[in-house]
A = this chain, B = another copy of it.
Amino acid sequence: MNYYCANSSFEKAQIVIVGVPYDGTSSFRPGSRFAPNAIRENSYGIESYSPYFDKDLREKKICDMGDMPLPFGDKAFVLDIIEKFSYKLIKNRKKLLSIGGEHLITFPLIKTFANKYQNISVVHLDAHSDLIDSYRSEKLSHASVIRRVCEIVGFENVYQLGIRSLNSTDLNLPYRKENLCLFNFDKAQDFVERIGDRPVYLTIDLDVLDPSIFPGTGTPEPGGVTYKELIDCLKKLSVLNIVGCDIVELSPQYDTSGVSSIVAASVAREVLCFL
C-alpha cells in the first residue's frame, strides 16, 4: 500500500517517501516500527487537498518506496542499512521524506545528507532535547540522537523548537542560548532568517504535539503545541530550502482512538505540500 497519491515512479518523482520501521532502542513504550504502515493506511482517511497550504497532492510527483528492509536486533547493522539505503535515494537530488520508526533513525539519515550537502542545517521539532551524552552507557539511542547530530553538523547548525523536557545542563551546551526555543515555536521566524538559503534537514518528532492530540507515542510529555500551532510553524519553515525530512515516534499500539495515526498522516501531507 502506498501513501495516498504517491503513485509516481522513482525516476519521475520529485519527492520520495520511505518507511524506516525501527524501534530497537525505545525504552519506555515500543511500537514505532508499526508507524509507516499506519500512516499510509490513514492517509486514505484525509483529503489530498490541504487548505492550509492550498495545495493538492495530486499535482505532485511522489514515489512511495515502501519500507527499508531492516533486520531485528542488531543496531549497528540497522543504522548502516539506513545510511546506505537513503544515500541511493537522494543521489539525484530528489527530496526525501522518511517515516519512522524511532528518533535514532535520524542519525544515519543526517550522516547521509551531511555527506551530500555541505553546510547543512538541521531544524528539530520535539518535546525532548535528545541532547544527553549517553543513556545507560549507550552513545546511540533515541535520547542522544541530537547530541550525535550536533557532533556531525556542528552545534551552531542545529535549531531546536518546542522543547519542554531536558536536563538543566543542556542549557549550557554550545549555541543553545540562540538555537534552543523552549515550550513553543516563538523563534521559528528568527531561525528561518538566520538559516537563509542553506540546505536544511527537518526532523519532526511528533511528540512535540501535546499528548491531548497525539497520545500514541513512546514518551508523551504534557504542555505541547496544538495542531494549529504546528501548522503555523510549518508554514514559516516552508520557505526554507528543505532537502530532507523525517517524521518519527508515532506508536500505533498506544493510539487507542486511532487519532494519532490520522494526525501523523496529516502532518505528512502538509510536509509533502511544501517539500
Contacts and interface: CB of A to CB of B under 8 A. Distances in A.
Contacts of A166: 47, 49, 51
Interface stretch (A6-14, A80-88, A191-199, A209-217): A209-217
A contact residues, range = 35 or more
Contacts of A228: 183, 223
A43 interface: no
A211 B211 contact: no
Contacts of A76: 74
A24 B71 contact: no
Contacts of A74: 74-76
Nearest to A45: B28
Given A46-B165, A216-B257, A254-B257, A24 B72 contact: yes
Nearest to A260: B257
B47 A165 contact: yes
A89 interface: no
Q: What are the nearest 9 A-B pairs in CB distance?
A: A73-B75, A215-B257, A212-B212, A212-B213, A222-B227, A24-B73, A211-B259, A25-B72, A256-B256
